[in-house]
Amino acid sequence: MKNEFLFSLKQKNNKARRGAIQTAHGEIQTPAFMPVGTAGTVKALKNQDIIASGSEIILGNVYHLMLRPGADLIADMGGLHGFMGYNGPILTDSGGFQVMSLAKIRKISDLGVEFSSHIDGSKYFLSPQKSIAIQHQLNSDITMIFDECVAHPATYEQAKKAMLRSNDWAWQCKEAFVKRPGYALFGIMQGSTFVDLREQSAKNLLDIGFDGYALGGLAVGEGQEEMLKVLDYAVDFLPENKPRYLMGVGKPSDIILAVARGVDMFDCVIPTRSGRTGQAFTSKGVVNIRNSKYKGSKQKIDDECSCDACLYHSVGYLQHLVKSNEILGAMLLSQHNIFYYQKLMKDIRLSIEQGRFDLLLQKVLSQFETVNQNIK
C-alpha cells in the first residue's frame, strides 16, 4: 500500500521552517526546490543528473503536455513517471498560468478557458474538471487546482474577479480529484497585491480544505520588493501544518528571502534557462561565462560544487562550448545550476536545524548583490 501523503514540520528558526513531505513516490525534504520539467524533461538534463543533484521532486505541466504528446498517450505509457522513466515525486502545474501567458487567443468564462495553442493555433478548452482529469492521467503525486492568474499590474476589480472565479474552480477541483494514498491536491491563493483579497482567498481555500497551499499570482512582473511585501502577510494566512508553495520563484535571493517568511516549496525555470544562455550561479555569485576574461581560464567554475562541470572541466573549456553553441555547454551549465540550487536548499535546511538561518541569509544575499563576479 502506498504511503499516506503527510507533511511534518520538524523545526523552525523564526519563520523559516524545516520539514518533510511524504508522497506515493518518496519523501521530499523541505524547504525544497523543484526543477521544472515542463514537457516531461528538465531541459538539457538526464534523470540521473537530476537525482545526483539532490533533487527529490520535479515539476510537469498540464498545458504543455496536453498539447503534446497528449495525456492519453502518457497515461497509456504508465503516467508521467513511466513516460519519463523517473520514479520520484512529481508535481504538476494545472495550466492556468500558461493559458494566461502563452496561449495566443483565450476566452475565459466561469466554465473554464477556451484558447488557441501557441504551437499551431489549434483550439482547446480547459476546465477545472479537465485539468484535474489530465493530472490524474499523468499520475501526479501533487495535483494543483485550476486557477485564473492575472498579470501585473491588475486593478482591484480584475484581481477580485479572478480570485472569486478561482475559488469557485477550487471547489470543482476538489470534487473532481480522486483521492488515493500518497497523492495530494493543493489549493492556490490568488488576490494579486491586495491584502483583503489574499486573506479572503486563503479563508475560502481553508473552508474547502486542501493537502497543501500555494501562493499564486506572484513572480508575474511585480518585482522582488513588491513580492516580498505580499509574502510578509500572505504566508501567515496559511496553516502551519500544511506545506506552503510559492509558484514560479525564483532567483537564489528570492528563495531564501521567501524561506525567511515561512515558504516551504519552490520551482523556477531560471537555473536551466540561465544554463542554456551561459549564466552560472555559484558560491561567489552569478557568472556570465561568455565574458572574455574567462577565455583560456584553467579555474573551476565553483570549488564548492560537485557537478560534472566543476569536477572535470575548466571555465575556459565551458566558455568555448557556450560560445561555439555546443549542446554540451548548455548541458553542463544547466546541471551545474541545478546542483547549486540543491546545495543552497540543503544549506538552508541545515541552517534552520542549527538555528543559524539568519547568518546564511546574509551570506547568500551578499553573494548576489552584484552579477558577473570574478572567479578567484
Is residue 371 predicted with pLDDT exceeding 50? Answer: no
**236 tagged catalytic:** no
> Average model confidence (pLDDT) for the chain?
95
Each residue of 134-159: pLDDT tens digit?
999 999 999 999 999 998 999 999 99
pLDDT of residue 369: 78
Is residue 6 predicted with pLDDT exceeding 90? Answer: yes
Each residue of 200-230: pLDDT tens digit?
999 999 999 999 999 999 999 999 999 999 9
pLDDT of residue 2: 57
pTM for the structure as a whole: 0.96
Out of 49, 264, 267, 302, pick the active-site residue: 267
Query: Across residues 325-338, what is the average pLDDT?
Result: 98
pLDDT of residue 307: 98
104 pLDDT band, cuts 50/70/90, is: confident
Is residue 372 predicted with pLDDT exceeding 50? Answer: no
376 pLDDT band, cuts 50/70/90, is: very low
Is residue 105 predicted with pLDDT exceeding 90? Answer: no
Out of 93, 141, 211, 302, pick the active-site residue: 93
For a pLDDT cut of 90, what percent of the chain falls above it?
93
**168 tagged catalytic:** no
Which three-class secondary structure string do you get for the chain?
CCCCCEEEEEEEECCEEEEEEEECCEEEEECEEEEECCCCCCCCCCHHHHHHCCCCCEEEEHHHHHHCCCHHHHHHCCHHHHHHCCCCCEEEECCHHHHHHCCCCEEEECCEEEEECCCCCCEEEECHHHHHHHHHHHCCCEEECCCCCCCCCCCHHHHHHHHHHHHHHHHHHHHHCCCCCCCEEEEEECCCCCHHHHHHHHHHHHHHCCCEEEECCCCCCCCHHHHHHHHHHHHHHCCCCCCEEECCCCCHHHHHHHHCCCCCEEEECHHHHHHHCCEEEECCEEEECCCHHHCCCCCCCCCCCCCHHHHHCCHHHHHHHHHCCCHHHHHHHHHHHHHHHHHHHHHHHHHHHCCCHHHHHHHHHHHCCCECCCCC
Is residue 116 predicted with pLDDT exceeding 70? Answer: yes
Query: All domains of the chain, ordered by start, with CATH?
Result: 6-268 (3.20.20.105), 275-367 (no CATH)
1 pLDDT band, cuts 50/70/90, is: very low
Peptide bond before residue 69 is cis, with ω within 30 degrees of 0:
yes
